């Protein structure tokens, strides 16, 4: 497979496409370790357990306009609700070379105002998994 350059990652939050405001995005899964050391063994070790869906971290260029960053995310925080986000490495259709990750989440943290005088106004958001993640790669 060819190497991939991340230039147009896609992020949809509660059915609102916020891709044009994303500066950075990070999503990963891992495996929970389960203690496997028995009595009399002098070393601790683990065996692979369940898959752990990781937090999704996004840095947005902040925007207070309708259907943009603040107007989309703040009501979700205020309602303490879960919703779906969709993450793709590129904006095109889901495919074997452009998997689509759909994850039920809630907002763990959202910085409303963040920055230094004269800087671009950035907003850091952490979405926490609240359900199963699905992968679509037709």
Give 9-53 pLDDT, tens digit per residue: 999 999 999 999 999 999 999 999 999 999 999 999 999 999 999
Whether the per-residue pLDDT at 72 is higher than 80: the answer is: yes
10-30+47-136: CATH topology is Pnp Oxidase; Chain A (2.30.110)
pTM for the model? 0.88
Q: How far apart are CA 11 and CA 19, in angstroms?
A: 5
Q: Put the strands of the sheet holding 22-35 in their side by side order.
A: 16-17, 10-13, 83-88, 100-110, 122-136, 46-61, 22-35
- What confidence score (pLDDT) does residue 129 get? 96
Q: Locate the domains of the chain by residue range.
A: 10-30+47-136
Give the pLDDT band of residue 107 (cuts 50, 70, 90). very high
């Amino acid at each position: 497979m060819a190497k991939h350059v991340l230039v147009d990652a896609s992020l949809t939050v509660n059915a609102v496409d916020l891709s044009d405001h994303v500066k950075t995005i990070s999503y990963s899964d891992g495996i929970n370790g389960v203690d496997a050391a028995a009595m009399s063994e002098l070393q601790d070790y683990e065996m692979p357990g369940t898959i752990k869906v990781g937090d999704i971290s996004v840095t947005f260029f902040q925007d207070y306009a309708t259907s943009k960053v603040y107007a989309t995310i703040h009501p979700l925080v205020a309602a303490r609700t879960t919703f779906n986000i969709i993450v793709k490495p590129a904006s095109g259709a889901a495919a074997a070379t452009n998997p689509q990750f759909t994850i039920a989440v809630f907002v763990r943290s959202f910085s409303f105002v963040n920055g230094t005088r004269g800087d671009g106004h950035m907003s850091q958001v952490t979405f926490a998994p609240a359900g199963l993640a699905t992968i679509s790669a037709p």
